[in-house]
Amino acid sequence: MAPRVRISSVVPFAALAASVVLASCASDEPGTRSGKMLTDLQTIRAEIVDGQRRVDGAIASLDALNSTTSANYQVPAAAADLRKNITSVDSAATSIRTRYDDMKARQLEYQAKWKEERSLFADASLQKSSEARAAKVQSYFDDISKQAKEAKDAYDPFIRSLRELDTYLANDPSAGAVSSAQSTVKNAKKAGEKLKDELDGLVKQIDKTTTDLGSGGAGRP
C-alpha cells in the first residue's frame, strides 16, 4: 500500500527561515547575536538548497516514469523510485514542522528580551536606535516570510500530485497506467518547477538578508 505523505506536515519555509532571524537573538549576550544570526542564516540556506535537491529527485522520478510507457516490466522500479523521493520530500517537511514549533516559542522569548533591553535605556536616542534596529530585523522576517509563503503555496500542489500518482500506480503498476496518468505527471512536473523557482527566490532573499546584516545594515544586535 502506498505511503501517505502528510500534507499537514508541510509548513511554510518562513517558519524555518524566520526562526533563524528571530530566535537566534533570544538567548545570547548582545554583541554575539549578529554573528550567530549570520551563521544560522547560512545553515538554513543550506537546508533549503537540500530541499531543492529533493524536489529535483522527485521530478527525475517523473521523467523516469515517462520512459516506461511501453515497457510494463520497468514500471514497478520507476514507481518505487518515485515513492522513495516522496518519502524524502516528506522527511524534509517533517523537519520543517519541528523547527516551526520551536520557532514559535523562541520568537516570543526574543521579542520579550529585546523589549526588556530597550526599557533599560534612559537615553531616548538609544531607545529610538534600538527600536529602529528591532524594526529592521522584523522587516527581514517579513520579507523572508512573504517569499516563503509563495514557496509553501507552490509546495502543497506538488506533494498532492505526487501522492495521487503514487497511490494510482500502487494499484496498477503498468505501462498503460503510466500512459493514462500523463496529465497528472505533467501537472506534477509543472508544480515542481514552480516550487523550484519559489525556493530559489527564498534563497535569494536569505542571501540579501545575510549581506545586509553582515554589512551592519541592521546594527549589531
- Selection from 213, 208, 197 nearest residue 45 by Cα: 208
pLDDT greater at residue 94 or residue 30: 94
Integer Cα distance of 76 and 65 in angstroms: 9
- List the chain domain ranges: 11-213
pLDDT digits (tens, 9 = 90+) for 50-70: 889 999 999 999 999 888 766
| Cβ(198)–Cβ(150) below 8 Å | yes
For cell 499537514, the residue is: 8
Over range 183-209, report the average pLDDT.
92
Integer Cα distance of 64 and 170 in angstroms: 16
Residue type, 209: T
**For residue 20, pLDDT beyond 90:** no
pLDDT digits (tens, 9 = 90+) for 116-144: 887 888 888 888 888 888 788 778 878 88
| Side-chain half-sphere CA neighbours of 5 within 13 A | 27
pTM equals 0.78
- Selection from 15, 210, 23, 28 nearest residue 99 by Cα: 15
